[in-house]
Structure 1
Amino acid sequence: MISVSPTLLDMERKNFLRSLLIGAVSTPAVINACKKSSVANETVGTTSTVTGGSSTANCVVAPTETEGPFPTKVPASYVRSDITDGRTGHKLTAKITIGNSSSNCSPMAGAIVDIWHCDADGNYSEYGGTGMQPTNYQSVHFLRGRQTTDVNGLVTFTSIFPGWYSGRATHIHVHVYNAAGKSLKVTQIAFPEGSGTAVALVNGYSKGMSGYTYNKNDNVFSDDATGIEIATVTGNTSSGFELKIQLSIPA
């Protein structure tokens, strides 16, 4: 595993995971564990770029978000572009471009990118058997993976469209490191919502959308007024969906 210096977010996550050993965790505890970081968005330069599917005249740094409560335990073990690992759902191809905000958001080659997200039923691998996630998936590692950016700053993952769970909108977690393994950014990707969007078409799989938390009420995405964290998502349930987003970070 890559060693990363402890931060306030790390300590918060560790304290939360330690609480799982004590007993069942209530839904409010899950929501608190997923709360937004207090780090504000940064804007640098004047280069026109696309971040989160929204055009802007500035190079906007991706917001820092929490890793928890389900981060990959040994991310270096899952270097793979296809992270489906047997999970069923509508195909999703995720294309994530990493830009260097310290260099006018130019493509960052050689960056290490980890992603992870829940399955169609809202469950995460590597966790479970608790009140927060009754189904025990501690021994499997689906929907987790690592890739290194190419010369265009791009990584591509094949996965399934994420489901949802109580208190959160549909999302994907991202952790970016430099080539030497230094942590540069922990953030999350949101999905467009509304009539005709992928979220509406998937319709929560068998769960439906009753009780779904939309971006505007999500404790991570609710303050994203300009849509920095919202990806561009195209496609359909027959042929699958394609997600594209640029995440600009200082390096």
Structure 2
Amino acid sequence: MPEKRTDERWTAPDGSPLDEEDRGLVYDIRTLIDRRRVLGLFGGIATATLLAACSSPADPRSSASVTSTTPDAARTPTTRATGGAGVVEVPDETAGPFPGDGSNGIDVLDDSGIVRSDIRSSFGSSTTTAEGVPLTIRLGVRDAATGAALVGAAVYLWHCDRSGEYSLYGQSVQNENYLRGVQPVDASGNVTFRSIFPACYSGRWPHIHFEVYSDVATAVASGPIVKTSQIALPQETCDSVYATAGYEQSVSNLSRTSLSSDMVFRDDSGIHQLATMTGSAASGYTAALTVGV
């Protein structure tokens, strides 16, 4: 079980307090295996049936916390664009301790404004904009068995800021909700987010979290998750970004880790989660990845 929070602090099993990065590692280690067991590979049957099958009791949220009252099988099926050969299924990974999806206390998914492409600024009571090198994130979302685009599915994406903190959770950003957003998969089978390049914090390779849902309505209702995984960012790009102002701490953190040793990506050195990058630190980067679910 994840550590209990008391007065906004995390504690280890022996009662001692955990610092920012340690509580993330402890939580990730304990939830990584469970998250990998949540979902199976899509088969060649109707999308709605598959999504219902994927919403097993292993979903980290209890039924009491899911506000949608429409049975999975009764939801409007996701439309599939025609596709060719199958693609490699992206590995299931932990959502970590800061998902903001209701599985760890805070739920931003039911907040008005969460469905957006530009996630650089907070919405609601704050309009603070996260600073950093511009990053466009483009995900192709495909059926792993057929390669068909999952048009109409939804992606919830989030990551840390330039200082390595996650909005809603970090001590200095508890009142912010930036760098989080939901987008529907478009007719081309893609979702696109405008963001900033995340930091490298102690103990983890630079990464971006995402969850795939059957549709936007299910996502904003904190309904069943179809896929939870992470995107790895290439070292060459990280080196370029972290040489710019504001990312100084990331330089030393990156030097102490690697894809092959990272607790999430080490299974295959992030081969199936490593984004393709274009651009520059001066003009901004685009990270692209096709994910099979």
Taking structure 1 as the reference length, what is the TM-score of the superposition?
Answer: 0.77
Residue ranges of structure 2 left out of the alignment (5+ in a row): 12-16, 44-84, 101-106, 122-128, 219-223
Pick aligned residue for 1:95 from 135, 138, 144: 138
Give distance in 1, aligned partners of 2:194 and 2:4: 28
Equivalent in the alignment of 1:18: 5
Secondary structure at the residue paired with 1:122?
coil
Give distance in 2, aligned partners of 1:199 and 1:43: 32
Equivalent in the alignment of 1:84: 120
- Superposition deviation, residue 226 in structure 1: 6.6
- Residues 147-203 of structure 1 deviation map (CA, whole Å, 9 limit, x = unaligned): 01111221100000111111011000001100262310010000112xxx2111012
Q: For the structure 1 residues 17 and 82, does the alpha-carbon distance in structure 2 shift closer, same or farther, using more than 3 Å as the test?
A: farther
Partner AA of 2:27 in structure 1: A
Residue ranges of structure 1 left out of the alignment (5+ in a row): 1-11, 46-56, 130-135
Secondary structure at the residue paired with 1:217?
coil
Equivalent in the alignment of 2:165: 123
Give distance in 2, aligned partners of 1:202 and 1:209: 9
- Superposition deviation, residue 91 in structure 1: 0.4
Larger RCO: Structure 1 or Structure 2 (Cα < 8 Å, ≥ 6 residues apart)? 1
Identity score, percent? 35
- Superposition deviation, residue 207 in structure 1: 1.7
User: Is the Cα–Cα contact under 8 Å of residues 17 and 69 in structure 1 kept in the other structure?
Assistant: no
User: Is the Cα–Cα contact under 8 Å of residues 119 and 195 in structure 2 kept in the other structure?
Assistant: yes
Equivalent in the alignment of 1:74: 108
Q: How does 1:204-243 map to 2 (within 5 A)?
A: 205-212=247-254, 213-225=257-269, 227-243=271-287
Partner AA of 2:109 in structure 1: P
Give distance in 2, aligned partners of 1:171 and 1:70: 13
**1:31 equivalent in alignment to 2:9:** no
Q: Which moved more, 1:140-149 or 1:210-219?
A: 210-219
Pick aligned residue for 1:200 from 225, 239, 255: 239
Partner AA of 2:226 in structure 1: L
Equivalent in the alignment of 1:50: none
Q: Which moved more, 1:117-126 or 1:74-83?
A: 74-83
Give distance in 2, aligned partners of 1:178 and 1:217: 33
Question: How large is the RMSD of aligned CA atoms in angstroms?
Answer: 2.4
User: Is the Cα–Cα contact under 8 Å of residues 43 and 59 in structure 1 kept in the other structure?
Assistant: no
Give distance in 1, aligned partners of 2:86 and 2:287: 22
Q: Which moved more, 1:207-216 or 1:163-172?
A: 207-216
Following TM superposition, the consecutive aligned residue runs of length 4 or more in structure 1 with deviations greater than 6 angstroms are 40-45
Choose between structure 1 and 2: higher strand proportion. 1
Number of equivalenced pairs: 215
Give distance in 2, aligned partners of 1:44 and 1:112: 16
Equivalent in the alignment of 1:191: 233
- Residues 199-243 of structure 1 deviation map (CA, whole Å, 9 limit, x = unaligned): 110126222421322211110001124700111011101110001
Equivalent in the alignment of 2:50: none
Q: For the structure 1 residues 228 and 118, does the alpha-carbon distance in structure 2 shift closer, same or farther, using more than 3 Å as the test?
A: same
**1:147 equivalent in alignment to 2:183:** yes
Q: For the structure 1 residues 76 and 109, does the alpha-carbon distance in structure 2 shift closer, same or farther, using more than 3 Å as the test?
A: farther
User: Is the Cα–Cα contact under 8 Å of residues 157 and 181 in structure 2 kept in the other structure?
Assistant: yes
Choose between structure 1 and 2: higher helix proportion. 2
User: Is the Cα–Cα contact under 8 Å of residues 44 and 60 in structure 1 kept in the other structure?
Assistant: no
- Superposition deviation, residue 30 in structure 1: 2.3
Equivalent in the alignment of 1:244: 288
Secondary structure at the residue paired with 1:175?
strand
Secondary structure at the residue paired with 1:109?
coil
